[in-house]
Amino acid sequence: MPAVRGELDDPGVRDRAVTDDLDAIVHLAAETSVLGSVERPALVQRTNVEITAALLELARERGVSTFVLASTNAVVGPREGVLTEEVPLAPMTPYGATKAAGEMILSGYSGAYGMRTPALRLTNVYGPGMHHKDSFIPRLLRAAADDGEVQIYGDGLQRRDLVHVSDVAKAFANAVAGWPSGPVIVGSGHSHTVLDLLETARDATGLPISARHVPPKPGEMPAVVVDNSRARARGWDPAVSLLEGVRSAWADFSPAARS
């Protein structure tokens, strides 16, 4: 099948991309900035909900029986303790709300039409190819490359689970091959503080990255600690350590990569 390039908000692009000879759709496209969603909620709604619904309906009409969604643990909002797939949906930002809506649309199509619709709740994805991202790892690496400074919201003790993009790719391949409908958490299973991430970036780059603490932003989860046992039970296992992963991302940002 030839590649179809374009914006998914164009019905013509969707029409050319979703054809009746497809075995599955892996839907990765989204507005993913949590803080950006607070500033641009209407855009996030159109992109993450309306386009997802339009693609899913095309898949149903054209007999594409599998639709895999890139979702997020932000669908459950703040929680003390470990996140599992059974935690009730309670998003605290427009981004999380739109991804929760996407999961519910998939659930409806699975129940009504028998489509297989796994939703992979990704933790913070990182690795090569992050120049366009505004998440914390690329901010750290830009600061290292430019001899700049990174801002840390609050005390930096908020915890994050990071999963490398190569491990995420394996999870999506497994999901297409046979994971059942419903949510599944895809994360490393290891939680690191923001200060830990700063020290790891310093180790990976060999540079003394400057940091400045600023007031916390609304919508930030204080801790992300996940249980990835459902994904592991389905044959997926993360393989890339945090230090290895940050080094792989640094290869794109380092001064040597620019020369």
DSSP state of 74: G
113 is catalytic: no
Write the pLDDT tens digit of every residue in 195-216: 999 999 999 999 999 999 999 8
- Domains, the chain, in order of start with CATH, read 13-258 (3.40.50.720)
Q: Within 10 A of 173 (CB to CB), how many other CB atoms are there?
A: 12
Q: Determine the Cα–Cα distance for residues 56 and 67; give it in Å rounded to an integer.
A: 7
What pLDDT score does 104 carry?
98
Position 206 scores a pLDDT of 96
Contacts of residue 111, defined as CB under 8 A and 6 or more positions apart, other chains included, come to none
Low-confidence ranges of the chain (pLDDT < 70): 1, 218-221, 257-259
Instruction: For residue 209, give the amino acid letter.
Output: I
Among residues 253, 257, 34, which one has the least CA distance to residue 135?
34
pTM to 2 decimal places = 0.91
Pairing status of strand 118-122 against strand 182-186? parallel
- According to DSSP, residue 206 is labeled T
The confidence score (pLDDT) of residue 257 equals: 67
What letter would DSSP give residue 78?
A: -
- N- to C-terminal Cα separation, the chain: 36
- Give the tens place of pLDDT for each residue, 51-87: 999 999 999 999 999 999 999 999 997 777 899 999 9
95, 109, 126, 153: the catalytic one is: 95
What is residue 134's predicted lDDT score, i.e. its pLDDT?
Answer: 82
